[in-house]
Amino acid sequence: MKNKWSTKKLVLTAMLSAVAGVLMSLEFSLPMMPPFYKVDFSDIPTIIALFAAGPGSAACVEVIKILIKLFTVGTNSMYVGEFANLLGIVLFILPVYLIYHKLGKTKRAAFIALMASIPIRITFSCFINACITLPLYAKAMGMPLNEVVAIVASVNPLIQDLPTFLALATVPFNLIKISLNYVAGYWLFERLKATNFTGGIADYA
């Protein structure tokens, strides 16, 4: 039996965690989006870890990258964004890996798995924003929820209440961010796999 946490797998996970931590710190805003919505490319190392070394490695990358960001640059969302990322780990990693594994861990399987997870993550993001993160963010800022919506309305006048916030901010933001990360992650994994960068770990991920 092959050691699921071999030295190669540990090193790969550590390397990808460090890269993810750096990428998570290099975040930027999008026009017409809430100021606390930031795009980063830290999902890319997680995708590589998931396909190359399995869900355990990917989960480690997700947790470590959040810790790296908190220790290096802190939080710009009163820890609400980081909390949301932790909640989303399971719904990000498990659906992708289960579909990828069931379809035979091929290039096509990876593509289908990533595409199938997009609506799952967006739906989850809407629920989390409406029920957890927005109320927590409002509480952390000492503001009522409707004032948080008003802040968003200042950059997008079409947003008037929570439903329009979800429809015009949460859904398009997550669609853009997730799609950018998935396209780049898929492209990079296939090229790294072709160069044997994973050292054969992907053979038993």
3-class SS letters over 117-142: HHHHHHHHHHHHHHHHHHHHHHHHHC
Q: What is the mean pLDDT of each run of 10 residues along the chain (205 residues)?
A: 70 94 88 84 95 93 88 71 76 91 92 94 89 80 83 82 91 95 94 71 49
Fold for 7-204, please state it.
Arp2/3 complex 21 kDa subunit ARPC3 (1.10.1760)
pLDDT attached to residue 203? 45
pLDDT attached to residue 153? 75
CB–CB of 49/15 below 8 Å? no
Neighbours of 191 (CB within 10 A): 10
H or E segment at 172? helix 171-194
Question: Structural domain boundaries of the chain?
Answer: 7-204
Beta carbons within 8 Å of 75's beta carbon, 6+ residues apart: 69, 81, 82
pLDDT attached to residue 46? 95
H or E segment at 32? none
pLDDT attached to residue 93? 92
pLDDT attached to residue 77? 63
174 in helix, strand or coil?
A: helix
